[in-house]
Structure 1
């Protein structure tokens, strides 16, 4: 099955090209109105295509059938052999789908563990219930960010490494800051301590110029936030269990999972992207953190974190839901900025190649 976009020969049954990700259309559909329109759009230079968010298109592949080979191809990106050159990166909006499959798998595993505890009353299932329940939604959200990383220059093993090491590093740093500030429980202090801890963890990973793109910072920040959120949820779930209430255990996992996408994962993703914005192609320096482009994002994230923990938000109906929606508008705006950065770099490289050398 030859791809109509890049002429790559794919195995039978593949819905999307394993080389470029373009949808493979059957011969009988080649002359449909949709195909002709898509063919015309494909002739438009990529640097002239819109990278504005079209939410219907972004999630258009979630409910389609995908082969195992397509998933395997996603998991091998980011290595020295599979990372595309910046000229080959598509700067239009990615269409993630794997995150939905990951969530479904985690949900099935959690339901199995739940039945083991509630129906069969086997306490051996409790550790698995807490771990899977704590990681399911943060890791699913992280996979979404991983699929949205258009440069495809970060391997999945690196992401898992950042989740665990970055997550525990940021938690320990937050505890150090709490001790320095006398364990102050003010929501502003909590927001500053936890977000600053995650920023330092992000800097540790993005200081390498290999991960200099805004979308890289967004992904690595999300990985650290996912680890932070999952470990924190597991701790709260254990506290609820030790209080002697299985109802509190289930409730803690449920509500923290529902609002996990609007919490630590997205907060750390935004600050991670802001670090890459101020760093650019230069070696990281601490003075970069006082630049308005970083400080503005960081203070906004601290404010949203403090508002999230504030009792004021509880007065508003669906307060956390409203805050989550606002946060994800900011996330998609940052993704748009990241895609524009790639488009600009591609144009710059094209100009440098075409620019005549002085004789």
Structure 2
């Protein structure tokens, strides 16, 4: 089936062009029964048709991880969020998404890391060291970010935008944190570290999500996770380089191993929670400074600061058991906010339908 818009040859049976997204005609009229996005989502089995509960069911959330998925299906996931593939609110399902791509990304990163490890450890080639540090630093934060991206039910943020936020947001939040550390240089402790770094990430996240395009709780989770992923990866790369320069090769791998294991419950989750809390307060309204003092935002932000402070507290047993406990606690709050985000979508759909019926 050749596309009349870009002359790309598509497989038979598709409803839109896989190259440019052009909707195909049927009997010289456009099919109105479903939107472009719904056809796209239904074709790759992204839209659950039977499950209607927004209660957390972990066996369902991760049920597609171990299924077979084609390369074409993976490629199509990356075209969401464009002008052609962003759905209307009435076309968004409020059921729990079932992500799977994040697991594949982790496997790819692990294979790349093992290859670099062989280059350094077996062949003693120092040219592999920069790649080893970069892949080791980004592997888990990027995997966690892909999970948040797949959980973004509105599908209104393109992946290229997420990559932009990872790099720009990550380095910007680190620079702001350094500014705070310079101000607090005579009073550095776990509490001030938590305040400085979380405030820096919060400022950066709010800079990105204050535009009304990103008005959903799930959008805040995703943008926050992108900033946190950049922050975590750059910080891990720095610690790994310090370990390498110390002359202890084992310390390099130990640093990357533990920071990778704990990364999902650290900067990525904390920044995601901050972004979700702010979007929950902002909603469809223009940004106002007093939103930062809303109790719904403050209680989450203060919780994040306390978790960060406890994470850095040097008390017996904190590493690794206390940090694992904090990681689990962070993700409990994450899933609670995902549930709130899905319920928000359901309420917006009902409101839209109500106003449509009135008019």
Q: TM-score range by the shorter chain?
A: 0.7 to 0.9
- Is contact 1:313–1:320 with CA below 8 Å preserved after alignment? no
1:268 aligns with 2:271: yes
Residue equivalent to 1:33: none
Which 4+ runs in 1 deviate beyond 6 A? none
Match of 1:91 among 94, 117, 128: 94
Structure 1 residues 1-359: aligned runs within 5 Å: 9=13, 18-20=40-42, 23=45, 42=50, 49-182=52-185, 184-312=187-315, 314-315=317-318, 318-355=321-358, 357=359
- Pairwise CA distance, 1:290: 0.6
Q: For 2:319 and 2:132, locate their aligned partners in 1 and report how far apart those are by CA, in whole Å.
A: 31
- Is contact 1:238–1:249 with CA below 8 Å preserved after alignment? yes
- Is contact 2:44–2:73 with CA below 8 Å preserved after alignment? no
- Is contact 2:82–2:157 with CA below 8 Å preserved after alignment? yes
Count of equivalent residues: 325
| Aligned residues: CA RMSD | 2.0
Change (3 A) 1:208 1:134: same
In the alignment, structure 2 segments of 5+ residues that lack a partner are: 1-11, 16-38
- Is contact 2:106–2:140 with CA below 8 Å preserved after alignment? yes
- Pairwise CA distance, 1:71: 0.7
In the alignment, structure 1 segments of 5+ residues that lack a partner are: 1-7, 12-16, 25-37
Q: For 1:98 and 1:162, locate their aligned partners in 2 and report how far apart those are by CA, in whole Å.
A: 20
- Pairwise CA distance, 1:278: 1.2
Deviations 1:246-289 (A, max 9, x none): 10101100000000001000000000001101111111112110
The worse-fitting range, judged by mean Cα deviation, of 103-112 and 66-75 is 66-75
Task: Report SS of the residue matched to 1:209.
Answer: coil
Q: For 1:285 and 1:92, locate their aligned partners in 2 and report how far apart those are by CA, in whole Å.
A: 31
Deviations 1:282-330 (A, max 9, x none): 1111211011001100000000000111113635772211111111111
- Please report the TM-score for the alignment, with normalisation by the length of structure 1: 0.87
Q: For 1:201 and 1:317, locate their aligned partners in 2 and report how far apart those are by CA, in whole Å.
A: 29
- Please report the TM-score for the alignment, with normalisation by the length of structure 2: 0.87
- Is contact 1:191–1:305 with CA below 8 Å preserved after alignment? yes
